[in-house]
Amino acid sequence: MPSLKDLFDASGPTYLTYVNWNCPHHRRSVMASLVQGVYVLERDRQWNRQGPDARAPAWWRFFHFELRQVLVDAADGSIFGAVYAFQPPFHLMDPTAAASAPYYVAAFRGTITKKGSAKRDLELDLLLVRNGLEGKSRFRVAVQAIHDTVAVAAGQHYRVWLAGHSLGSAIATLAAKTLARAGAAVLPTFLFNAPFVSAPVERIGDRRVRQGIRIANSFVTAGVAALLQGGGGGVHDASFAALAAWVPNLFVNPADPISAEYVGYFDHRRKMEAIGAGAVGRLATRNSVKDLLLGIGKGGGGCEPLHLFPSAVLTVNRGPSPDFKTAHGIHQWWRPDLALECTAHYYS
């Protein structure tokens, strides 16, 4: 049977009857709900729920958004994204809060392990590990939609927001990096449970062991990068630093093995500076051994790691998560009782 989690009235943030766009909790909850709207759009398609039976519209209409575009993967016909337009009633407009609201939101779902989309989603999950999303039709459709939306925003690209969960976070990340590096736009971005392809060091209970492994890994990564990039290291550094102005909002759960490594990734950068190994840390922070080795023979000193960010506002859910579905799920991010830890990290 269809899940009750698809019903906004049963599992959505119905308590959020007024949205203050200056409030980080409100922004996070609405962006997560819009991503959930994409999940339910695809499940509506799979269950053939149409008209009054469709469950997806409540996830955006409650917050006064309209659905402007549905993004479909040409490979299997599944819905993977949507572009929403904010259309609040005039009598609800708070000029101060409205100045911080988006005009448009492009949202992308993650993997759905159901027959109608599982094959394509899992194929893209595997490509994600090898940084192979860029050439796929799903990414091309997403980037074109974002380009078109930025054009409609007429110079106010900061009012075009991106949001994604899991695989959808990877698509949003790649699109945002592409636009920022090209100098086209720096878009506010909300990434929920974004994949960090790495050994699960964060799951090791002993803090000193975790720290020791990360320090050793940094020296290995920096050594491999120096060897393979040679004189081209400056180009890679400039490319990474060019993204520093893009500061995504990154939401992770330490109990989620897919995204948990971001917790240690940013904290470790500060530790490397503290022990006097800042140069090694900076070289390691923009490279991964896996991607360096994948790039052998392709020129350029390695593939660019999709999951490594120069800067981010990292929000960690420190509350209890009894299982993987809870820790990795989108639903956790609109709960009003979260135990959150938020830190801003800037690349220098």
Considering only residues 263 and 144, tell me which one the structure prediction assigns the higher pLDDT: 144
8-17, 154-163, 264-273, 312-321: least confident range = 264-273
DSSP string over 152-219:
HTTT-GGGEEEEEETHHHHHHHHHHHHHHHTTS----EEEES----S--GGG-S-HHHHHHHHHHHHH
Whether the predicted pLDDT of 303 surpasses 60: no
Half-sphere exposure of 169 (CA within 13 A, CB side): 25
Going from N- to C-terminal start, the domains of the chain cover 4-345
Count of residues making up the chain: 348
Whether the predicted pLDDT of 58 surpasses 60: yes
pLDDT computed for residue 301 by the predictor? 44
Buried-exposed string 336-347: b where 16+ CB fall within 10 A, e elsewhere: eebeeeeeebeb
Which strands make up the sheet holding 340-345, listed edge to edge? Answer: 65-72, 79-86, 104-108, 160-165, 189-192, 249-252, 312-317, 340-345
45-59, 229-243, 260-274, 321-335: least confident range = 229-243
